[in-house]
Structure 1
Amino acid sequence: MVSPIKTVLVIGANRGIGLQFIKTLKQQGWSTIGSIRPETRGDSTVDELIATGSRIVEIDYKDENTIKNAAKEFEDVKLDVLINCAGMALHAPSWHDYSKADLLSHFEVMTIGPLLACKHFLPHLLRAPRATIANISSSMGSISTNIDARVIGYKMAKAALNQLTVTLANDFKARGYTIGVVALEPGAIQTRISKFNGDVDIVESVERMVELIGGVMPEGEPRFLDWRGRGVGW
């Protein structure tokens, strides 16, 4: 018996880790939907995503209406996996140099946007027999392992994303929803966000994270895992 095709939505799919998720899952036979920000439509930065043959949707985490419109555009779609992958540059001023606008921007992109995506795409996830939300986090969002004052805006927003992960996992379990939630640390990958610093191969990291996503159980405890499957402290 042929297994039904699974569908994934990757938010932040025009480059880096998000694009690699699309490529990897497409190769594995998934139906893939990748998001781009509206202003990048027609830009050469989305050419690789277009080349995958994925469906493309416009989402800007800073604009809830784009998330609502995307959910409506795909209102009949069954989502097996939602991957919140968009992020912001890691390199930033010292904590006392941050402005209110800097901090709000980090939270809009890396915490509030993912929450709104989970909210508006929840009906799509509930159509799947078993679905998963994967929030791409960072060990820099770990409170228990924090040792310095670098990039506090990034750290705070990722810590809040981890809180979202735990909260949703516990709420879904209490409601009997068959949706698992996991926070994933992809490792030090050379991407635009990291200014192309890193020593982890993007293909290997994403392939392993795909395996981890496949093993998330709705009834299990919320987990924060690195790309190798090792636990990271909240």
Structure 2
Amino acid sequence: MTTALMNSLAHGYRAIVIGRSGGIGSAIAAAVQADPACGELIALSRSGDGLDVTSEESVAAAASRLSGEFQLIFCATGGLTIDGVGPEKSLRQITADAMMKQFSLNAVGTALVLKYFAPLLARKERALMGFLSARVGSIGDNQLGGWISYRASKAALNQIVRTASIELARTHPQSVLVPLHPGTVATTLSEKYSGNHARTEPHEAARNLLAVLDGLQPVQTGRFFAYDGSDIEW
């Protein structure tokens, strides 16, 4: 017998997955779609639906086409290599253009998704909203240096989600908004940079992330969690 994936949500919950065309996003969407407790899934992406999180007009238009309340929203957008430019290894490799593109996608994109999609969260019942972050966005955990633009954009994402969680708690007291670190996942994003690290398959990573999100309580909103449920320092 198939068991529910999101046990803390009411049966027949409605869900939105943003970034369904990515490796993790598609796995998140597939896991939610297969959940017998899910009543409706809206899966959006730039390639499939024209949703470009770096464009406010695009994000606003996508959200305006939806109605009613949702109990689960997961934003799986993000980029490590953008327009062929990967993470810097040193200060000498920083360019303003590459850095702005990292912030536009990873940080500003997150803020726009929050601005237009967070109001769709259920107000009087449990509602969950997760965002893909990365452990390298932790300032306290940074022991290696490098990857300045990507690290900084993910640190900004964390602060944006943290701040939004405080505001949303006033109107959505049962909500949980968190940035989540998925681990090293076997996707095209991590392929060139995983080194000797073991990589988790996307479907396993998706279930891990959803399980962590499902187990959080409102008092934990705005904190930074890893795929195994452990706290990550800011």
Q: State the TM bucket, normalised to the shorter chain.
A: 0.7 to 0.9
Q: Percent identity?
A: 23
Q: Tell me the matched-pair count.
A: 214
**How far does residue 112 in structure 1 lie from its aligned partner after superposition?**
0.8
Residue of 25, 45, 50 corresponding to 1:36: 45
The normalised TM-score by structure 2 is 0.84
- Report the alpha carbon displacement of residue 132 of structure 1 after superposing the two structures with TM: 1.4
Question: Does the CA contact (< 8 Å) of 1:78 and 1:128 recur in 2?
Answer: no
Q: Identify the residue that residue 51 of structure 1 maps to in structure 2.
A: none
Q: Which runs of 5+ in 2 are unaligned?
A: 1-9
- Deviation track 1:103-156 (CA, whole Å, cap 9, x = no partner) reads 111111111111111111132114562211101111000000101232111100
**What residue number does 1:69 align with?**
61
For 2:169, which of 167, 173, 180 is the aligned residue?
Answer: 173
* Alpha-carbon shift at residue 232 of structure 1 (Å): 1.2
Asked if the contact 1:10/1:84 (under 8 Å) is kept, the reply is yes
For structure 1, the 5+ residue unaligned runs are 42-56
Counterpart CA distance in 2 for 1:73 and 1:221 is: 27
Q: Considering Cα pairs closer than 8 Å and 6+ residues apart, tell me whether 1 or 2 has the greater RCO.
A: 2
Report Cα offsets for 1:153-182 as digits up to 9, x if no partner. Answer: 110010011111221222223445432111
Decide whether the 8 Å contact of 2:122 with 2:172 is kept in 1: no
- Find 1:84's aligned residue among 61, 67, 75: 75
- 1:217 is matched with which residue? 217
Q: Give the CA deviation at 1:222.
A: 2.6
- Equivalent of 1:11, from 8, 18, 23? 18
- Contact kept, 8 Å, 1:173 with 1:219, in 2: the verdict is no
Over the aligned positions, Cα root-mean-square deviation in angstroms equals 1.9
Match of 2:52, as an amino acid?
Answer: D
Q: What does residue 49 of structure 1 align with? A: none
